[in-house]
Amino acid sequence: MFERFAHFGVRLAAVVALAAPLPLAAQSCPDCVFNQGFENEFFLPANDAEAARFLNQATFGATRADIGSVKNLGYESFLDVQMARAPTLERPQLEARAATVRLNNQTINQDDRVHLWFNNAVTAPDQVRQKVAYALSQIIVTSDQNDTLNGEPIQMAEWNDILVRNAFGNYRDLLREVTFSPMMGKYLTHLRNRKYEVTPRCRPNNNPTGNPTDCNSDSAAPFVITPDAANNYPGGYQVGNNGNEPDENYAREIMQLFSIGLVTRNQDFSVVDDPGNPGNPLPTYDQQMIRTLSRAFTGLAYDCSGNQTVQGVVIQQNCSGPGARNSAPPPTPGCSGSDCRYFNLSTLFFNDPPRARLPNDSGDSSLVHPDFYRPLVCYPRYNDLGRDRKRFQLPDQALTPPVNTTYDAGVAAPSGAQGAGKPLVLSGTTLQTLPEFRPGASKETVPDCELSGATALTGLTPSQRLECINYCEDNVRSVADLLFNHPNTAPMVARQLILHLVTSNPSPEYIERVANVFANNGAGVRGDLKAVTKAILLDPEARRPFTGQFGKPREPLMKLVAVWRNFNATSGDGRRWGPTNPQTAYLQRPHGAPSVFNFYEPDYQQPGAIATAGLYSPEFQIINENTIMLASNDLFTRICSGYGSNNCSGAFATTAPTDRAFFPPAQLDALPGMACATNINGCSGADDLALIEELNVRMMGGSMPGAVPNPTTGSGNTGMKGALHTLMRQGLIGNLGQSGATAAVDARRRKALYLIHLVAISPVYSHQR
């Protein structure tokens, strides 16, 4: 696909900007001792704690098994193994669940999806992929809190899967796929977005931009149109569809949030000054650009692919004749394939695909036709071609002189030739999308993509019908490519991913190193998310020991997920994990942000010392006096979760809880410093220290401050480590009055749970270092 980007009047072919990559080792890192590339010592963790610290960045939480893997393989090979793992997807699992409950005439809802999300986050073997997908879900946001998505768990599961599948693919493909995604189409409202409809008032072959009286000289009678003086439309045009213009929502946010951002940036994320307005950042686009771009995202609606079988259930869909999509096909089909987008336009464009009914026919089941989540397709009647509906260029298009364009190798433009394009011009920057049809064609010879119904099938040849569709869909892809190839996209995506995985305040050099990998993975490919992920996690800045203000505030909900994973929690019934409305306590919900701006914004600075120091602290936007307590209380309940009541306030359950996750006693018993509970002499200070150290490693990557110089006497204890040890030795009672053989074991387990919770709400743990 071709794209061209001219910047400050200088043409920059995107591919040229990618050329001649610097070898990683030679990149500038002037104040950095690692400027000769990665030292050997950074390939392998020196100890368990370093491995765990890496895992707490790269996965949802360090486990003993993964710590061993990282120590054996080294960081990069561990990532290679992870990246080779097959993606764990939600939608097929959720469809299976929907099919199962359907047999009982029941439906599923978002609760089922949220359970499944937690299950995959804690237990999926492709951990790094899942973690990166979760990071992406906070950059490219849709949300089940939206009215049109709330009742659609299958759609939201497929949204998750788009991110999971593309997490180690290419950002270009991701940007394209989300653009065509029905879920995004609903969330940012470009589903069924329609063009601004304008019709020349005169006969088709008259130039409506000229004197309207030309109409009278036409050989046939002109249209009779009452002048619309109140609306001040030029005499030559009539406006249709109430004068509605394309929805600008997606055009704006794909630029602001998913790709280039608001202001022009260097590759290290620093802002480019506006030469025309010194002291101010140079904007990347303005309102006119958004308005122009919005015209590309028109004409998209659900596909109609006919009958499909999902989980053994046939979901019928009639695409070929007028009537409802889910009605029986008429005896004589009126169209087939994509031709139905012309012939059966009003039915297919404006209606949703069908759903499988419940067996007792009391309503729809949760099984939906795959067209519900497959990419949207173009209905040319409603797509803005950059010309009016009778083949004339719109005036603001006609004023722009044609621009010569070039193509990526191997990409065929519609009708295969170069020619005048459809420019998007703003702020002196010209973005060039695909050329008009068959450049050089006259207004009399281009196909009339406006046609619909039977007329379309007679008035357009089969190849013309495809040409109209291809033009539209290629144009959307082309716009996504333009943004993907914009220089800003590399530092924007690089910084955001660093923020979600490693640190809220990466150095400009760190951002630039990752952005350079985004721009070129070393093999000439831009947007390779595998390479980007590696660059982020293997960067010397991420791997060198914690210092200063490095790291990030831990996401409130990720405390719960990490603790579950750190200590091998499991779902009691193999399906449910408990929190179906985690946003109440944590202000976070998987694929459930309050708006497209996510739970918090990357540039949030907590007022006070953090803002004064010039630091960003995104997660603090949802951490306040109220939620900090709600989250702490919820964590306690879930860490202590047992059958019936909870293990921290009553006897330790021997049965798994049915509807939520818990720590199996065997997992707790396997922790260091636990076996002593069965000793006749009980547990020693060294046992307590062993348990604390294990929490230090798994939960905190070794970042727990303090020392326990003499575990036997407890004298000289300092810092957090010392405070916890003193508590264990002197004050922490785990026995709730139980007696008998299990009392000592239960008490020790309970102490472990108390300790895990105390660490989880501590100020140091709350800062992922």
Partner 1 sequence: MNHPKNSRRAFIKGTAGLVAAGGVGSFVPKLNLIGEALAQSAVGGYKALVCIYLGGGSDSFNMLIPTGTTLGNEYDHTVYRTSRGLYYSTVNDPVTFKSPDGLGIPRATTANCLPQAIALTSGVAAGGNLGLNPFMPGIANLYNQGRVAFLANVGTLYEPLTRATYNNRRKPPQLYSHNDQTNLWQIGSSVSSTTQRGFGGMIAGITANPSPLGLSSAISVAGSNRFLIGRTLADQAVFPFQLSTSATTPATTLSNYNPNSSTAGEAARRSTLDALINETYPELFSKEHGDIFGRSLTLSTNINGTISDAVGNATLYVPNSNPNANIRGNAVGNNVNFPNTGLAQQLRQIARVIRVSRPGYTPTQAGLTPINANRQVFYATAGGWDTHSGQITSISAAQGQHLLLQQLSEAINWFYAELTAMGPATAGGIEAVDQVIGFTQSDFARTINGNDNGTDHSWGGVQLAFGGPAAITGGQVYGRYPSMKLDNRIGGTGAVVPDRGECFSRGQFIPTLAVDQMAASFARWMGVDNSNLPLIFPNIDNFATGPFANAGASPTFAYFNRVVPNLCTGIT
Residues 396-415 that bind partner 1 (CB under 8 A): 396, 399
From 68, 243, 402, 644, residue interacting with partner 1 (rule: CB under 8 A): 243
Interface with partner 1 includes 287 (CB under 8 A)? yes
Locate 651 and state its tokens.
């006897």
Residues 69 and 225: their CA atoms lie apart, in Å, by 76
Distances from the Cα of 238 to the Cα of 104, 381, 388, 389, angstroms: 55, 17, 11, 11
Candidates 54, 134, 269, 662; binder of partner 1 (CB under 8 A) is 269
Check: CB of residue 733 under 8 Å from CB of residue 672.
no
- Out of 28, 104, 106, 270, the residue judged to bind partner 1 by CB under 8 A: 270
If binding is defined by CB under 8 A, does position 742 make contact with partner 1?
no
From 131-139, 165-173, 669-677, 730-738, give the range in contact with partner 1 by CB under 8 A: 730-738
Q: Is 609 in the site for partner 1 (CB under 8 A)?
A: yes
> Which is nearer to partner 1, 112 or 746 (by Cβ)?
746
| CA distances, 356 to each of 217, 457, 695 (Å) | 58, 31, 49
| Among 621, 647, 696, 717, contact with partner 1 (rule: CB under 8 A) | 621
Two structure tokens written together for 714:
């407890």
Task: Classify 651 in phi/psi space as left (phi over 0), alpha (psi -120 to 50) or beta.
Answer: beta
Letters for 569-588 (x = contact with partner 1 by CB under 8 A, - = none) are: ------------------x-
Among 271, 441, 466, 651, binds partner 1 (CB under 8 A): 271
Cβ contacts of 330 within 8 Å, gap of 6 or more? 318, 320, 321, 322, 323
| Spatial separation of the C-alpha atoms in residues 259 and 482, rounded to whole Å | 10
Q: Is 707 a binder of partner 1 (CB under 8 A)? A: no
733 is an interface residue for partner 1 by CB under 8 A: yes
Contact call for residues 456 and 342 (beta carbons, < 8 A) = yes
418 and 405 in contact (C-beta within 8 Å)?
yes
Binding range to partner 1, per CB under 8 A, among 52-60, 266-274, 462-470, 525-533: 266-274
Shortest Cβ distance from residue 587 to partner 1 (Å)?
Answer: 7
Binding range to partner 1, per CB under 8 A, among 50-58, 228-236, 520-528, 689-697 = 228-236
Q: In 3D, which of 541, 533, 538 has the Cα closest to residue 508?
A: 541
Give min distance, CB of 703 to partner 1, in A. 9
Here's the x/- map for partner 1, 144-183, by CB under 8 A: it reads as: ---x------------------------------------
67, 55 Cβ separation under 8 angstroms: yes
* 237 is a site residue for partner 1 (CB under 8 A): yes
Residue closer to partner 1 (CB basis): 19 or 399: 399
Closer residue to partner 1 in complex, CB, 24/758: 758
Helix (H, G, I), strand (E, B) or coil at 23: coil
CB of 671 to partner 1, least distance (A): 19
364 part of the interface to partner 1, by CB under 8 A: no
The reply to whether 624 sits near partner 1 by the rule CB under 8 A is: yes
Site residues for partner 1, window 536-565 (CB under 8 A)? Answer: 548-549, 551-553
Task: Calculate helix-pair angle for 685-700, 64-73, nearest 10 degrees.
Answer: 70
Query: Is 56 among the residues that bind partner 1 (CB under 8 A)?
Result: no
Q: Is 311 in the site for partner 1 (CB under 8 A)?
A: no
Shortest Cβ 564–partner 1 spacing (Å)? 19
Q: Is 232 in the site for partner 1 (CB under 8 A)?
A: yes
Closest to partner 1 by CB, 236 vs 421, is 236
- Say whether residue 252 binds partner 1 (CB under 8 A): yes
Class of residue 356 by CB neighbours under 10 A (exposed 0-12, middle 13-18, buried 19+):
buried
Contact yes or no for 190/250 (Cβ under 8 A): yes
| Other CB atoms within 10 A of residue 444 CB | 8
Q: Which is nearer to partner 1, 410 or 614 (CB)?
A: 614
Q: Which of 262, 425, 525, 743 binds partner 1 (CB under 8 A)?
A: 262
Q: Compute the chain's Rg from CA coordinates.
A: 30
Choice from 76, 214, 273, 573 touching partner 1 (CB under 8 A): 273
3-state secondary structure of 601: coil
Site for partner 1 in 708-727 (CB under 8 A): 719-720, 723-724, 726-727
Instruction: Considering only the stretches 36-44, 236-244, 512-520, 694-702, report the one whose residues sit in contact with partner 1 under the rule CB under 8 A.
Output: 236-244
Q: Is 258 in the site for partner 1 (CB under 8 A)?
A: no
> Which stretch, 97-105, 287-295, 340-348, 452-460, contacts partner 1 (CB under 8 A)?
287-295
Interface residue with partner 1 among 258, 510, 616, 652 (CB under 8 A) is 616
The reply on whether position 608 binds partner 1 by CB under 8 A is yes
Based on the shown chain and the rule CB under 8 A, indicate whether residue 267 belongs to the binding site for partner 1: no
Considering only CA atoms, which of 9, 12, 142 is closest in space to residue 482? Answer: 12
Please say which residue, 168 or 237, places its beta carbon nearer to partner 1.
237
Contact in structure between 617 and 504 (CB atoms under 8 Å):
yes
With 0-12 CB in 10 A as exposed, 13-18 as middle and 19+ as buried, what is 50? Answer: buried
Stretch that binds partner 1, among 37-45, 68-76, 135-143, 273-281 (CB under 8 A): 273-281
Count of residues that bind partner 1 according to CB under 8 A = 113
d(CA 180, CA 190): 9
617 forms part of the interface with partner 1 (CB under 8 A): yes
Half-sphere exposure at residue 275, Cβ-oriented, CA atoms within 13 angstroms: 3
Least separation, in Å, of the C-beta of 141 and partner 1?
12
Residue 743 binding partner 1, by CB under 8 A: no
Q: Does 615 bind partner 1 (CB under 8 A)?
A: yes
**Per-residue buried b or exposed e for 481-507, using 16+ beta carbons within 10 Å of the residue's own CB:** bbbbbbbbbbbbbbbbbbbbbbbbbbb
Nearest to 246 by CA among 448, 390, 383, 341: 383
| Alpha-carbon gap, residue 732 to 747, rounded angstroms | 10
259 in Cβ contact with 484 (< 8 Å): yes
Minimum distance from residue 545 beta carbon to partner 1 (Å): 13
